[in-house]
Structure 1
Amino acid sequence: MKYVILIHSTPQPWGHPTSDFVAELQALPEQERATLQADFESVMQEMAERGELLGGQALGDPSEARLVRWHAGRRKITDGPYAETVEHFAGFFLIDVASQDRAEEVAAKFAGPGETVELRPVAE
């Protein structure tokens, strides 16, 4: 079963890894931050060893995003990502796991303070 893990975040300034730039995570004690980072690195290693990690990519600054919309019978390109967004799409990972339970187990390791992780099945 393929899933995409979508990471929504608001790093200030924009940068990766986003946790380095998210105030809520930076407010945690150093040991707690180290534990969260170790959990993330562990699940990444585990997925690589099991062949579950198909790919992923961090995304650039949302201020450089462009939207292409259909407007008045034509395509129109505007600045993006969205006018009223608080969180921005920061990156994604594509995984192929045996079950939804496994996908949820993995996605839980991606969620940290100040960030939202969306787990969505891939349409096949």
Structure 2
Amino acid sequence: MKLKKYNLQKSPFIVPTSDGKYIAEYFGLATNGDSNISIAHMKAPSGWSEPFQTPEFDEFTFIIKGKKQFIINGKKIILSAGESIKVEKNVRVQYSNPFEKECEYLAICTPAFDINKTHRED
């Protein structure tokens, strides 16, 4: 008997938010308990931002449409559709969408995203 060598995900976990951001986690702690990686589809509305943080995980971002702003150790970086970035763990970063249009993107974290390991500033 052959063992299944894949995990098909058709029902992501929709993360409840209070800031208008859409987060659908396909793999990760919230979806299947995987602590090695998280993969999420996100939509950040115009005007959205998060506080500065210093996460204990690497985060890869690929922009599908719109633009997203990153402030990494004081340097402002703006990504547009088709561009990507890796922000290494233990680096101070702020994510935002100060632009007029929604930003849609994929976020991959290794190890998996864990709100308790983001170390967000007040």
- Give TM-score scaled by structure 2 length: 0.26
Higher strand share: 2
- What TM-score results when the alignment is normalised by the length of structure 1? 0.25
Q: Which has the higher contact order (CA 8 A, sep 6+)?
A: 1
Q: Which has the higher helix share?
A: 1
